[in-house]
Amino acid sequence: MKKIPEILDKLRRTGFKLTPQRLAILEVLQGNTDHPSASMIYQSVRDRYPMISFATVYKTLKVLEKVDEVRPLTIVEDKLNYDPDTSPHHHFHCRACRRIIDVFPSEDPMPSSIDGHQVDKYQVYFYGLCADCAGRKDA
Amino acid sequence: MKKIPEILDKLRRTGFKLTPQRLAILEVLQGNTDHPSASMIYQSVRDRYPMISFATVYKTLKVLEKVDEVRPLTIVEDKLNYDPDTSPHHHFHCRACRRIIDVFPSEDPMPSSIDGHQVDKYQVYFYGLCADCAGRKDA
DNA sequence: GTACTTGCAAACAGTTTGCATAGGC
DNA sequence: GCCTATGCAAACTGTTTGCAAGTAC
Q: In this structure, are residues A110 and A118 in contact, taking their beta carbons and an 8 Å threshold?
A: no
pTM of the model: 0.94
DSSP alpha helices (H): ranges in B67-139? 131-138
How big is the A-B interface in CB pairs under 8 Å? 101
Q: What residues have CB less than 8 Å from A100, skipping those under 6 apart? A: A34, A35, A73, A75, A76, A81, A91, A92, A93
pLDDT digit string, tens, across residues A55-97: 999 999 999 999 999 999 999 999 999 999 999 999 999 999 9
CA distance linking residue B23 with residue B21, whole number of Å:
5
Measure the CA angle with vertex B135, ends A120 and A87; round to 5°: 5
- Which candidate from A94, A117, A128 shows the least CB-CB separation from B92? A117
CA distance linking residue B73 with residue B25, whole number of Å:
18
Q: Is the pLDDT of residue B138 over 60?
A: no
Q: What residues have CB less than 8 Å from B34, skipping those under 6 apart? A: B40, B99, B100
- Which candidate from B115, B121, B128 shows the least CB-CB separation from A120? B128
Which residues surround strand D, with CB < 7 Å?
Answer: A 12, 17-20, 37-39, 54-55, 58-59, 62, 78-80; B 15-17, 19, 21-22, 51-56, 59-60, 63, 78
Residue A135: predicted pLDDT: 87
Which of A15-19, A31-35, A85-89, A103-107 is the least confident region?
A103-107
DSSP B69: S
> B58-75 burial string, b = 16+ CB within 10 Å, else e?
eebbebbeeeebbbbbbb
3-state secondary structure of A36: coil
Cα B119 → chain centroid? 21
For chain B, the first-to-last Cα distance in angstroms comes to 38
Output the DSSP codes for A65-88: HHTTSSEEE--STTS-EEES--SS
Mean pLDDT score, B96-109 = 90
